[in-house]
Amino acid sequence: MNYKKIILLIITAVAISLFFYFDLKSYLTLESLKNNRQTLLDLYQTNKIATVAGFMAIYIIQTAFSLPGAAIMSMASGAIFGSIMGTVYANIAATIGATLAFLVARYLMRDFLQKRFGDRLEGVNRELDERGLSYLLFLRLVPLFPFFLTNLAAAMTRLPLRTFVLGTVIGIIPGGFVIVNAGASLATITDLKGIVSPQVLGSFALLGLFALIPVLYSKYKGGKH
């Protein structure tokens, strides 16, 4: 491992350690967001550009290091910026953060895992080379798969960066809007678990299946030959 990878590992370890050492997770709670919403709104009215930039920077860091609090960050976006612009800002920040996590994981770990599990990953890589966007959209649309795990898992394959970015920026729009919109109605939210209803989850699952239609059709056609 070269010194650049060592430095990157140290930075990552320090950032994660500081997050938990200073208990920053306690600020990323529904109660904390409710208590500080008016302060955040006042800050936004005073300096809109700086507030948007600061919010997005925090969201990018949180996502890039796979730290807890993504749902609260999305809700905060809705509480401060409203449903539409909140979704735009959260989507951009989450995509940038996910891309950084993807690149770091690929840079630090991919070579090692390819050497160790290369044969087992070959089939997965072949599928991703051909239909990677459909698979990634499915993973992004169906909220059963943790966001950060999808970032890391994709980095271990040959999935092209452009496909990862496109699949992420499109795939997180529905779920992101639901959570951001909940943040815009913050006063009515009492529990994070109540944000996404079974009906909404079912809709996400249906969207995920639609994303897989090209894959299923291709396999069906291939099976007929």
Cα–Cα distance for residue pair 36/27, rounded to 1 Å: 10
Residues of the chain scoring pLDDT < 70 = 1, 112-114, 116-121, 123-124, 194, 217, 220-225
Look up the domain containing 37 and give its range.
Answer: 3-224
With H, G, I as helix, E, B as strand and everything else as coil, classify residue 23. Answer: coil
Query: Which pLDDT belongs to residue 176?
Result: 94
d(CA 93, CA 81): 14
> What is the token pair recorded at 187?
């006063």
pLDDT in the model for residue 117? 63
Please report where in the chains the tokens 């089939």 appear, as a residue.
123
The total number of structural domains that make up the chain: 1
Do 79 and 37 meet the contact criterion of CB atoms below 8 Å apart? yes
What is the predicted pLDDT for the residue at 189? 84
pLDDT of the residue at 203: 80
From residue 43, how far is each of 49, 52, 112 by CA, in Å? 10, 10, 46
User: What would the two tokens of residue 215 be?
Assistant: 């894959």
Give the max Cα distance, the chain: 65
pLDDT for the residue numbered 6: 86
Is 75:30 a contact under the CB 8 Å cutoff?
Answer: yes
